[in-house]
Structure 1
């Protein structure tokens, strides 16, 4: 039943009995939790902990700003919206502005929150905060030392073609493209 009353939102809560840390990296950590299920049985859950991230739908009069970079986990290059992980205690809106400028060289005159969503709630707690940036002014790209990418401006038609070709295939960018399409059709975002 999808429309549960608010007080029943934890109806199927799994109570943590123990947590075993497995890996602690620079970006993620992995733990295995033993949990008590609602029926009293126990199970294990492998959980990836992530600090969260931001993505930016940067709208330029000529289209949307995107970056192309190689994604080792996929073994191929992807076209994506500017994005990056949150630093500890960082305000997501400030992180969005920072990532936009670092990856594309553009600063925004206006920015607003569009949506926040979990990327893979079955095994990870990563949340992405999606922002819309407009009134862009070009500056200088300031990539991280281990970051290699190209920035470009694409049209909505190009974005849809890239999705059809699999060049755009990540959730944050697909979400941004559909938000942009809604904006083009209705004049409203979100």
Structure 2
């Protein structure tokens, strides 16, 4: 269907879809274009910036929520740029990222707000309460590994944003309509501009 709609498809061996999204969104933002990433993956929140926003879709698309920098900070207590530091501490069970055992989101956000980065936290361990310090010392290697595992790459080589190629106006309406019928997209069939009346 994506091919039939003449939408560009990006792939790069050794990189995940998130990395390609991050790279393309950053390229758009650098050109002064506002990028809107529609996804169900909250990892994308680390990409949020003045010109990059994320729409999280729920089980029904109508349940979508727009996240800008303020919304991310309200939800997690840290800025989008600091989310990857928080992931280093808290981990992410859905992605098998361990984090530091015993450090939760609230406590992790407090540490990140106070010290900025994992490096900042580990440079000031003596200032941190004994119980938390012990967890951090024990989980040092896991913290840095978790941050690396969770980071979205935003400079994938040989991936170039072409705004003109991304326009989806020039496609074969009959081919697309036939695909909608084949895939049983009956509800949205009639929304296709210029769709044949007879399915």
Does the TM-score normalized on the shorter chain lie above 0.5? no
Q: TM-score, normalised by structure 2?
A: 0.24
Larger % of strand: which?
A: 1
Larger % of helix: which?
A: 2
Query: Highest CA radius of gyration, 1 or 2?
Result: 2
Q: TM-score, normalised by structure 1?
A: 0.25
